Amino acid sequence: MAILDVLEPQLVRLRARYAKTPLPRFLSWWGRELATFLPQRWRDALAEGREALLLHTDAGAIVVRREAGQGVADMGTIGLDQDADAQRTAFERLRGSIDEPMLRQFYCISPARTLRRTLSLPAAAEDNLRQVLSFEMDRQTPFKAEQVYFDYRVLGRDASGRQLHVDLVVMPRAQLDAELAPLANLATELDGVDCWQDVSTGRRLGINLLPAERRARRRNMRLRLNLALVAVAIVLALGVMGRTVTNRQQALESMTAEVQAAQEQAKQVAGLRKTLEETIDSANFLAQRKRSAIPMVLLLKDLTERLPDGTYLERLNVNEDGRIELQGLSDKAESLIAELQKSKVIMNPSFQGVIQPDPRLKKDRFNLVAQLKPYEPEKPAAAPADASAKQEDKHASAAGSQ
């Protein structure tokens, strides 16, 4: 009770603010337009959620009607002259013919039993309209607020928006309690008490005179089941997301390990390739040095041909940079430079120091340095076939000139 008393003004205030916006009318129009595109069977299925039982008394019997999206249809009557068990059994039979566990039940009264007034109130009163109507009850009706059950409908606002038009429906508590007394034998709870707008067509006004504490407390099992399914779906989704993240993490770690292994292998291959290239370069360097170095046989042959008779060497030294050192004795030491300049193997011959005569051997001792020339190996002679081809070309050119 205390919770409802606290929440109800807040809910009324929220409903009032929501009603001021154009959103309710837009959503209602949009829903109707969308429903026209659905098959009739789907529209009927959606209308089942708005079904309700409408009860009222007429000629000593309780009349039961079924309200659905297609309209209102009579289901049957329950005589008030029957005993309580028979009334309860008949009602359960009618109620059981509708497969809707959350079926709402309303008791509808004749508009002649109610007092209706159309009031104009300041628009500022809309946020706390029920409390304002309670204060205005003894001024607008011959009753006090605690003597009646009442409800209201907001009809609209004036052009200026400062005045609020309200339809107030009032019924004395004693009369409504007397109206609801026959329903005690049905052992059922009501969701509300409405007022007929047209009893022949089953149209009702859309109010609820029943106090909140006397309304049915329904447990929406479908809602609970849906919420449970939503919770399970969320848990499963989180589990799947967590598992996906775990799998991706494991895959990332596996790929990282593979990449690291591949990088190590690449480093090893790069090291081996570098070693191989260095080995090849060293081999090529030695081969190149070998090819570019003048053979010692040629050097000795050339020196033998260039050095005159009466000259012999005591020391012959060839350095890695191609520098040659010659030491020896000669009868004609002063002519050695001229002879060595004619060599095809060495170049830049010169004496190092001075020529010293040796009185014992009666020869001149010399110390001479020179530099090896760059060596270019002789190209092999052309093959006979190439020679014959060149000869044929010469014959052909000669024939052409003739």
The domain segmentation of the chain, as residue ranges, is: 2-218, 223-292, 296-372
Higher local confidence (pLDDT), 146 or 157: 146
More confident residue, 54 or 287: 54
Residue 402's pLDDT band, with cuts at 50, 70 and 90, is very low
Give me the pLDDT at residue 400, please: 47
Identify the pLDDT of residue 269. 92
> Over 80: is that where the pLDDT of 218 sits?
no
Closest-CA residue to 188 (of 217, 166, 164): 217
Residue 298 CA, chain-centre distance (Å), reads 81
What is the H or E stretch that residue 11 is in? helix 2-20
What is the band of 289 on the pLDDT scale with cuts at 50, 70, 90? low
* Highest mean pLDDT (candidates 33-47, 153-167, 288-302): 153-167
**pLDDT confidence of residue 293:** 67
More confident residue, 374 or 110: 110
More confident residue, 292 or 268: 268
Which three-class secondary structure state does DSSP give residue 102?
Answer: coil
pLDDT (0 to 100) of residue 388: 54
* Model confidence pLDDT, tens digit, residues 326-345: 888 888 778 888 888 888 88
Entry pTM: 0.49
The reported pLDDT for the residue numbered 92 is 86
279 pLDDT more than 70: yes
DSSP symbols for 208-276: --S-GGGS-----HHHHHHHHHHHHHHHHHHHHHHHHHHHHHHHHHHHHHHHHHHHHHHHHHHHHHHHH
The alpha-carbon radius of gyration of the chain (Å, integer) is 61
User: What average pLDDT does this structure show over 283-287?
Assistant: 72
Give whole-number Cα distances, 342 to 321, 324, 330, 352, in Å.
21, 16, 18, 19
Q: Does domain 296-372 have CATH number 3.30.70?
A: no
Lowest mean pLDDT among 3-17, 24-38, 134-148: 3-17
pLDDT digits (tens, 9 = 90+) for 164-203: 888 899 999 988 888 888 888 887 788 888 888 888 888 8
How high is the pLDDT of residue 41?
66
Choose between 284 and 291: higher pLDDT: 284
d(CA 187, CA 88) in angstroms, rounded, equals 7
CB of 157 within 8 A of CB of 163?
A: yes
How far CA 367 is from CA of 39, 314, 371, in Å, comes to 122, 10, 14
The b/e string for 382-397 (b: 16+ C-beta within 10 A; e otherwise) is eeeeeeeeeeeeeeee
Degrees, nearest 5: CA angle 123-113-137 = 35
- How would you label 315-353 residue by residue, b for 16+ Cβ within 10 Å and e otherwise? eeeeeeebebebebbbeebeebeebbeebebbeebeeee
- Share the mean pLDDT of the chain: 80
DSSP assignment of 170-218:
EEEHHHHHHHHGGGGGGT---SEEEEEEETTTTEE-----S-GGGS---
Instruction: List the structure tokens of 389.
Output: 């081809």
Residue 278: Cβ within 10 Å count: 10
Top-ranked range on mean pLDDT: pick from 148-152, 337-341, 398-402:
148-152
Lookup: tokens for 107: 């008791």
Q: From CA 54, how far away is CA 107, in angstroms rounded?
A: 6
pLDDT at site 200:
81
